[in-house]
Amino acid sequence: MIQVTRSDGSSLLINPDRIETIEETPDTVLTLADGKKLLVRERAAELAERFAAYQRYIRSDARFGGRRRTDPPAFRDPRTYENPSRATMRIARAVR
């Protein structure tokens, strides 16, 4: 979610994936996927930077290996970790 400021000064969190267009007339107008329009104080360039930061934040775990509860401890060698599905993963690789 990214934070925007309405023209009356109140804050609002918006899912940036729902934004269809950003128009910069004298005021900045966001058009959402459902057709709703919002008038905000931020400039289009600032909203684009917030959107990019949001995307980097969302993708950072997947890209840089966010840890899960089922992952082996960091100090252990992953090749020696016994994953319950490791045998089937090896078979799948061998079949290809």
Instruction: Quickly state the pLDDT bin for 79 (edges 50, 70, 90).
Output: low
**pLDDT score of 13 more than 70:** yes
Cα separation, 8 vs 3, in Å, equals: 14
**Which value, in Å, is the radius of gyration of the alpha carbons in the chain?**
22
CA 51 to chain CA centroid, Å, is 9
pTM score, whole prediction: 0.60
pLDDT in tens, 36-56: 999 999 999 999 999 988 888
Cα separation, 82 vs 89, in Å, equals: 12
Query: What local confidence, expressed as pLDDT, does residue 92 receive?
Result: 47
Range 29-38, long-range pairs (CB < 8 A, 24+ positions):
30/4, 38/4, 38/6, 38/12, 38/14
Query: What local confidence, expressed as pLDDT, does residue 93 receive?
Result: 47
